Structure 1
Amino acid sequence: MSTVSVSGLGSGGKVTPARVLAMFPGQGSQRAAMAHHLLREHPQTARPIFAEAEEALGLPLIELCVTGGPDTLTRTEVAQPAIVTTSIATYSVLVANGFRPDVVAGHSLGEFSALVAAGALAFADALTLVRRRGQLMGEVADRIPGSMVAIVGIPAGDVERICVNVAAATGGIVEVAGLNAPTQTVISGSRAAVAAAAREARQAGADRTVPLDVGAPFHCSLMLSIAEEFSDELAAVTFSDPSFPVLSSVTAGVVEDGEHARRLLRCQLAGPVRWTELLCTAQWFAIDYYLEVGPGRVLSGFVDRSGANATVRSTSDARRLAAALRNLSVPVASHRKAVRK
């Protein structure tokens, strides 16, 4: 159990043992200057992470994550390694200050970061995989114009029925790609079919439909065309058994071992992200402190909307990361594993 000073649990800033879930964000959480605070405030910890990533990939990630504009970071093959590197740099800062989560999870792309944090995947290997994953996904987008839209305000079952009906009527592909909150469901597929489903959802009572700032139609059957090639990439990498529990957004269950992790990363290409169910699984671990590790606050919002009676924090900027660090109390040295192999 982690030792965290949780102002919402206990009183007077008392140091209270908490069950902590570290959550790693996926694509769409990128933003301009997302690593500026890390490299400015924690250079001794963060800069070696970025240097390793730059050497492994040949990408100017420091420049991209400090001064790069939104257009550059939207490109899938850039966004994915940039988000993973920023997330692991943030996690390294937390670990350097005594943090050890009880459970980790990642939203889609974030599952790579979660596996690195749990010692199941080497950082350099994760970078190689996510860059190739991004390239392959980008190739799908070049061949088949697609999009993703978040449907807010109606149940997931209604969204799924709309997708089935629109696909049958148009012959296009539109599928549920993400179950993020009880009334927030992401759909993905060919552009015209997704647009038609979004219109149907608004007519069915959706509060709003929000196009996602991503470069490809992730988590739908359009991605099956790259599954075999990505499987070859996964087969070339060593996976170890996690050193603490990892919840998979593919199944919403626990990753059993290294080989299971490998299979899940293949399945997630075309399968929906089951984040709402994952948060239900987290309750079995008695999680009462959710910490989003990396850029953005998307996952924190999902937890807030889930109704979980817990403390939720993010680390997306200097102020929030500093607050998270103040809440940490160095735990008894246990079987904490190094971030990188």
Structure 2
Amino acid sequence: MRAFIFPGQGSQYSGMGRKILSIFPEGREYIKEAENLIGMDISYLLLDAPEEELKDTENTQVSVLSTSFLWFKYLEKNNVRPDFVAGHSLGEYSALLSSGVLSFEESLILVRERARTMKKFYGKIKGGQAAIVRIPVEEVKELVEKFSKEGVVAISGYNSKSQIVVSGEERILKEIAKAVKERKGRFIPLKTSLPFHSPLMKKAEEEFSGFLN
């Protein structure tokens, strides 16, 4: 059996589409269709945009979805197909796309609107995400419980037994970073622009739910 697991925000990097477009040139036709549909210069985002520009959640989400889709189509062309699909957060849309539940056009429209809804909260929410490694899960839970009394912070992802993602207010994450360092662990800020999967995103969640309905 074979499973494809698609990435979410934080996996983007400058030039992320160069390799796939070099080995799958017909992918440019998909990108052209996408650009005509949503009016974004996706070719630029995949080939030339600097990392700081890609960090903008609208650019991030469209770029990651598009790159994931191109790799999926390339593998499909070479008769490599999954038995199961899954995704991390944004990657769930890529999973739905690859399984045929959503079309590429539907996925792009949904992801762009999802990102635009999130962008409305730029400047209103001072926060982010970070991965904590080399510390047992129970200790991370204890830290989150302790610092949640001082502000908003939550566990937003269990990537593995030794890598937990936390999201929350910027000032609280700084305090957790100090505590992690004292415990000889690693605190790795993620390349995301908002505290995704935390209570701070509740209003954005409600607004996007209204769009879906």
How would you bin the TM-score normalised by the shorter chain? over 0.9
Question: Secondary structure of 1:151's partner?
Answer: strand
TM superposition score normalised by structure 1? 0.60
**Residue type at the aligned position of 1:231:** S
| 1:163 equivalent in structure 2 | 144
**Correspondences of 1:322-337 after superposition (within 5 Å):** none
| 1:250 equivalent in structure 2 | none
- Residue 186 of structure 2, aligned match among 187, 204, 208: 208
Q: CA deviation at 1:227?
A: 1.6
Q: CA deviation at 1:152?
A: 0.8
**Correspondences of 1:16-165 after superposition (within 5 Å):** 19-44=1-26, 46-165=27-146
**Residue type at the aligned position of 2:143:** I
**Residue type at the aligned position of 1:208:** R
Q: CA deviation at 1:159?
A: 0.9
TM superposition score normalised by structure 2? 0.95
Is the aligned partner of 1:177 residue 2:156? yes
**Correspondences of 1:284-303 after superposition (within 5 Å):** none
Deviates most, 181-190 or 193-202: 193-202
What per-residue deviation string (whole Å, max 9, x for no partner) do you get for residues 211-239 of structure 1? 1111111010011111221112223xxxx
Question: Secondary structure of 2:156's partner?
Answer: strand
Aligned residues: 213
Computing the radius of gyration over CA atoms, which structure comes out larger, 1 or 2?
1
| 2:210 equivalent in structure 1 | 232
RMSD (CA atoms) = 1.3
- Specify every segment of 5 or more residues in structure 1 that has no aligned partner in the other structure, as ranges: 1-18, 236-341
Q: Distance in 1 between matches of 2:207 and 2:91?
A: 21
Higher helix share: 2
**Residue type at the aligned position of 1:34:** M
CA contact (8 A) 1:141 1:217 kept: no
CA contact (8 A) 1:152 1:206 kept: no
Question: Secondary structure of 1:130's partner?
Answer: helix
Question: Secondary structure of 2:148's partner?
Answer: helix
| 1:193 equivalent in structure 2 | 172
Q: Distance in 1 between matches of 2:6 and 2:48?
A: 22
- Specify every segment of 5 or more residues in structure 2 that has no aligned partner in the other structure, as ranges: none
Q: CA deviation at 1:206?
A: 4.2
CA contact (8 A) 1:129 1:233 kept: no
What per-residue deviation string (whole Å, max 9, x for no partner) do you get for residues 261-300 of structure 1? xxxxxxxxxxxxxxxxxxxxxxxxxxxxxxxxxxxxxxxx
% identical aligned pairs: 36
**Residue type at the aligned position of 1:175:** A
